[in-house]
Structure 1
Amino acid sequence: MFAGIKSKLEKKRTLWSMETQDRIEQFAAMERSRSMKEMEKKQTQQSILNQEVSKYLQTVNPTFLLKPETHRALLNMFYARAEGTFNINLSMTKEMRKAYSFYHSELKVFIALLERKGFQLEGQEELFLQTFLTKLRENNYRLLSDSYGDFVPDNASVTEAFELYIATVDKDNKYESGHLDFFATYLNHKNIADFTWTKGRMKRKLKHYEKSHKQEFKLKELERRLQKIS
């Protein structure tokens, strides 16, 4: 009798074990399927984003967004959009006001088009901004590299690079965010400096250097003007 009961219990345990194993395998299969679908969705979203941002940035060049404070403000605008709120800070800087105007006059329309094509901004605000800024930075670097060429020799010091930068680039734009971002990246590529400075700190150092050598820059500028006279 006891042997029969024991045998039945063993069979039930075996059955329970098999059922448990089946459930584990089913759950694992469901998780794999869910993960694959999630990965495919992310890849699709990133593909749409890469393609459309690349095309869009052939029509606009908002380099003022490369200033960290400005693109952080833009990210807050994205979050406010998702929440249906927006507060304007009357003490905004000039570049932040540019970002505000750009967002409302341009970027909102582009985002609406993106969403129509299948990209969902809500929940992916940081992904959008990172992709946008990366492509903007690449375009800006390529454009300014083409404009100014390789103007700093290898093995130059940082101060020599400062002097050549101020002497070479458009004087009205030398402290513009796109130019500063280009210059920092350029120095990294040249192995002249591995910048851990913020763009704000580099701007202050450049201004200090220019002010300290103001007379010398004026003399060199005059020399260049006179050399153009035949």
Structure 2
Amino acid sequence: MKFKLKGSLLLVLLMSFTVLASACGDKAGNSNTTDSGAAAGGNSTADTKQERVLTDALGHEVKVPANPQRIIASYLEDHLLTLGVKPVAQWSTGKGSVQYYLQDQLNGIPEISYDLPYEAVMSFTPDLIILSSADMATDDKYEQYSKIAPTYVVGKEKSNNWREELKAVGEVLGKSKEAEEAVQTYDKKAADAKEQLQKAIGTHTAAALWVTGKDIY
């Protein structure tokens, strides 16, 4: 079995527990139940007004276009929305199998298969592609994607830590300040939630499992 937990899912669960704890303690809960995107930043900052060259996790020197408008960042939609950016296509494992908790913000955004078929990617005419892991760029995949649009790989070192992953996406989009502010907002919300939970349930612990077929996330 595989055990995984995406940072945004953890936050959604934390917020759910917060609402439950608030009800148990007969206190007003936080009505904002969104993921880390709750601290969405504003418009593009100054460093997106010109093309920049960044080095990704695989050592590629990527020419990031000025203020990209058509971005594909499969399974990184949480971070895009946190930074006030909507992708041109959203991650999917099949028709209608999307990240449901993001649909209030991604409603109407076309789906693209999680494995990013070249033809599908090309059909969206992206001006920037962001890949979360090196596995998505193996063999000649990176070369194929980079022919379609500038392609940046975040890499395992940062993708295993949602805070670092968010900051990496923020850097690519020229929104490092917004990314830092989002992390600070989350940390404050998490601290407040922890305090509420401790008041409501003391030292009890909880585990949240997402079971799909033979896999547990």
> When the two structures are superposed, what TM-score results if normalisation uses the length of structure 1?
0.25
> When the two structures are superposed, what TM-score results if normalisation uses the length of structure 2?
0.26
As a proportion of its length, which structure holds more strand? 2
As a proportion of its length, which structure holds more helix? 1
| Rg comparison, structure with higher value | 1
